[in-house]
Amino acid sequence: MNNTDNQAQPYTPPKVWTPDKENGGKFASINRPEAGSRHEQALPVGQAPLQLYSLNTPNGIKVNILLEELAELGIKEAAYDAYKIDISEGDQFGSGFVEINPNSKIPALVDHTGDTQDEPLAVFESGAILMYLAEKFGQFIPMEQGRARTECLSWVMWQMGSAPYLGGGFGHFYAYAPYPMEYPIDRFTMETKRQLDVLDKHLQNQTYICGDSEADYNIADIIIWAWYGQLVLGKLYEASEFLQVDSYQNLLRWAQRIAKRPAVIRAVDLPLQSMR
């Protein structure tokens, strides 16, 4: 049976789903329907106040960028060690990583500084990590309740809710599925382009997500750029022509501007120490 024949066959879901066959996707060998650790693997701990366990994926580089932006400001308390969690090798299911992130997804961060009541504090989910670090150091987030903070957090939550359609939806079926499937590619391409248009229209008359001045650059820009900025710059899925990213000129201008920041340049190819 060829791929076209396979797509044409109607699928009737069973009464009870069971993982009784391999789906052939890129991550099929590590995907399971159960949570928890699969092997013993202690996490290395360096000397810096913050310990980052991650990978240079769009979700991972969000935290890289903020940590490097804090370094640009000379905030020594934000010094960190960064370790590579190789998701293709299953490092995310090691006992040490599962202890700090029961969801087994990168990135995860552990704060070893004294203001965590002498107990290391684990933070997981990229949005939560960015908010935690920005508020801890009082940078790249409006601290006072009001319009500016509300707008920043609204866009942060927009990204957290929208990006799964881009990564797990469009990216998966366009780049990682075992064979091309018209319906899911069309479905998620439609939504991805709608999201790109949301950003393009929003950036029509302003420099950054939350305003025009350099002071308005904040975690909303960081968290959105990691996915949508890289996408329109041709860094994700080799899908630039397919998505016609050049048509989103306001978004492209914003993405190019942020890509030139020294912290961002360092962050996208951040050296990560081996777990082994």
Domain residues of the chain, as ranges? 147-266
Averaged pLDDT, 56-64: 98
CA 245 from centroid of its chain's CA atoms: 20
For the domain made up of 147-266, give the CATH fold.
Glutathione S-transferase Yfyf (Class Pi); Chain A, domain 2 (1.20.1050)
Averaged pLDDT, 247-275: 97
- Whether 28 shows a pLDDT value over 80: the answer reads no
Per residue in 184-209, pLDDT (tens digit) is 999 999 999 999 999 999 999 999 99
Write out the DSSP string of 110-163: EE-SGGGTTS-EEEESHHHHHHHHHHHHT-SS--SSSHHHHHHHHHHHHHHHHH
- Whether 2 shows a pLDDT value over 50: the answer reads no
In sequence order, what are the beta bridge partners of 84? 54
For residue 118, what are its two tokens?
């002498």
Contact between 237 and 170 under an 8 Å Cβ cutoff? The reply is: yes
- Whether 24 shows a pLDDT value over 70: the answer reads no
Prediction pTM value:
0.93
Which stretches within 9-146 are classed as H helix? 58-72, 95-100, 126-137
